[in-house]
Amino acid sequence: MQNQKTDVIKIRYQKDPHTGKEDFYVDVNQENYNKEGKELIGKMLSSYQVWKSLGAYEDAFAFY
């Protein structure tokens, strides 16, 4: 998100009213998606996958 030149993605947090668990959602601006969004979202999802696979708690915690 730090590298986006336009408003491509936003991350918002929302608490589930049924479970009380907080989830995050990625909102995509479709107008700017084709300009730079595909590459940025790919990098973001790759980072999440690596953190998940490695169990990199500290890196994931720092991100949040």
Percentage of the chain surpassing pLDDT 90?
Answer: 0
The whole-number pLDDT of residue 5 equals 64
Cβ atoms 6, 32 nearer than 8 A: yes
Does 57 score more than 70 pLDDT? no
The whole-number pLDDT of residue 17 equals 86
Average pLDDT of the segment spanning 38-63? 74
The whole-number pLDDT of residue 63 equals 65
Local confidence band at 8 (pLDDT 50, 70, 90 cut-offs): confident
| Cα gap 12→27, rounded to integer Å | 8
